[in-house]
Structure 1
């Protein structure tokens, strides 16, 4: 096991960290994540449009089409927003003007995916004559097309700026104007490229990219149990070695996750039936049913730590409980630690695989519907699961069942780790007792045999002791020293010397008083 971990740390981790830091993958991750507020707000409108209350549905029926508008302009245009976000993120890496790059990315995506429609004759009461575009190609289904076209557009922009193929204005010109003129030639090149491909070569870039990515998407975020287990395994596997799993897989899996949940939301908005949605393994399925307390389902472990006999584990559990309730588990992953820990890695990997399987069969059996809303990941899992499955109470029950399963799996490994911690703490207590005893004896010896101590007054020794302890505390704070013995030892040493000096002084004073009384008698 140690050899395998050493191999992972020396060979695999550097590679994965390079992948996670690759500029295009970072741009995809950051750009897609930037659309999160839109998808969450759009999700709430999906819920408002489909509350299972007959009186409410009858009440909103006359203006349902108005309530649907925010959803259409958030979720329905998600690919358009993602194109801007990805382009601006990549431009930030190249230190280009982000606004120009974002607009250029949107332009490239529109040219590649949308074909204007000319209506020459009006149909009274249906449509007026004019030019129209279909917004259907701007939704989640075109997310990958938006990403690819945005990356290409910004690379063209970067290449031309880097090689001075742009219009440069004097430094006296305001930056906003200078940036606009600098983007003129790149904009022309992007227009000619994507316009020529779409209308000259009759090649649909967006549809082709969507078609090519479909097989991988169907495996990872469709209804395939193997794909769901693979995604979960890879995330916890990377976490086991201290690598942020979603950061590594995010550029690949997050666009698929977002596309999947947005497709579910669109179908649910149209049908109102959460049992007949296209995608099972959305991010929300994993978030609410599997990541109970965070990646690896660690909330059960946190609660065990809270009641541990080990002082360290108990304190860590208390500190990690509130973050764990809201699905933030970095304190337990790096504090226990789970990272590189042979005992805790095993349940950390096994538990989510088991709960994923249980949840999968609960959904395919029809007991629980599919996910139809996207909520913030910091919500309490049972509540979020109920809301995300069209207010299905059994979804909350499934979360509790999975919590019990995770508790059962983690428990024997927790006991093993607790035993190990208790043994270490006992050794530390024994070592501490020995250190304190040695310090006490040393203090007594100094007080008895040091001529310097014997020659100084009690007040001088007190001032020296305060200075010595103060310097020790200063060094403890300044150098972030971990062991409290850097303060305990000087304190005991000084206290012992002062106590002995006080005793000697008192004894000498008593002896002198007795002698004076004797001579007086």
Structure 2
């Protein structure tokens, strides 16, 4: 039994684990660990379980400061993920990763809702809604973080780029090399946003949330979903992938 498992199962799993997509998700999700750990401290202090302490924090203005720090860590986890995943993917493809990460972030923001409706019915536009830069936009961040570098690296590997003469600084060369793939990617993302917005009165991120992320989250309400999460984390960890980070980011 052990020999069959080693010969038949492990090679298949390792092949899947070692794909650029899974490796990029693993590395990208881990990049959010530091701000989330630090942010958890601010979150605990801001929501201290003793009302008298919370009252003092509110009256002195300290709670607002803690909430600001928490919002700049916990509430941008999806943005960190899309940057980390795309950066890691481009790096694995031996392409310049920073421009790829910036393009991915821009694509992620294009697909997000850019307005909110207040309680009075007023529509406020031109904003970055932190609801979608946190857990609610995580699946969208993973999808964008994989598709954008895939297209970006295809252009560069096919040498479809603006070439600069020798002697031009590396930063300038990289910026111009990324210009054509950036134009195609961002234009394509804008077209997708236009179709969703004009045709369906929604956004790409909202569609992903309703169609993909919400069903995944509902799985955790069942016994099977809870067992699956408990099993998948240690199982992936056994093969070198921080499964709790990957699965937890998707399901929560």
Query: TM-score with structure 2 length normalisation?
Result: 0.86
Q: Do residues 150 (structure 1) and 145 (structure 2) align?
A: yes
C-alpha displacement of 1:251:
7.8
Q: Do residues 215 (structure 1) and 210 (structure 2) align?
A: no
In 2, the alpha carbon distance for the partners of 1:118 and 1:54 equals: 31
C-alpha displacement of 1:210:
1.9
2:225 matched residue in structure 1? 227
In 2, the alpha carbon distance for the partners of 1:233 and 1:136 equals: 29
1:78 matched residue in structure 2? 77
Kept in 1: contact 2:26–2:242 (CA 8 A): no
In structure 1, the residue corresponding to 2:161 is in which secondary structure? coil
1:69-468 correspondence runs (5 A): 69-115=68-114, 131-202=126-197, 204-211=203-210, 212-219=212-219, 222-235=220-233, 238=235, 244-245=238-239, 247=241, 249=243, 253-256=247-250, 260=252
In structure 2, the residue corresponding to 1:137 is in which secondary structure? coil
Q: Once superposed, what is the RMSD of the aligned Cα atoms? A: 2.7
Structure 2 portions without partners, runs of 5+:
none
Match of 1:55 among 42, 52, 55: 52
Kept in 1: contact 2:36–2:73 (CA 8 A): yes
In 2, the alpha carbon distance for the partners of 1:217 and 1:93 equals: 30
Change (3 A) 1:45 1:194: same
In 1, the alpha carbon distance for the partners of 2:96 and 2:88 equals: 10
In 1, the alpha carbon distance for the partners of 2:136 and 2:232 equals: 25
1:12 matched residue in structure 2? 9
In 1, the alpha carbon distance for the partners of 2:126 and 2:14 equals: 48
In 2, the alpha carbon distance for the partners of 1:44 and 1:206 equals: 29
In 2, the alpha carbon distance for the partners of 1:35 and 1:99 equals: 17
In 2, the alpha carbon distance for the partners of 1:250 and 1:56 equals: 33
1:43 matched residue in structure 2? 40
Of the structure 1 ranges 188-197 and 204-213, higher mean CA displacement relative to structure 2 is found in 204-213
Q: Do residues 22 (structure 1) and 14 (structure 2) align?
A: no
C-alpha displacement of 1:167:
0.6
Answer with 1 or 2: which has the greater Rg.
1
Task: Give the number of equivalent residue pairs.
Answer: 242
Kept in 2: contact 1:235–1:246 (CA 8 A): no
Structure 1 portions without partners, runs of 5+:
261-521
C-alpha displacement of 1:132:
2.9
Query: TM-score with structure 1 length normalisation?
Result: 0.43
In structure 1, the residue corresponding to 2:241 is in which secondary structure? helix
Kept in 1: contact 2:36–2:74 (CA 8 A): yes
| Higher RCO, Cα 8 Å, sep 6+ | 2
Kept in 2: contact 1:218–1:224 (CA 8 A): yes
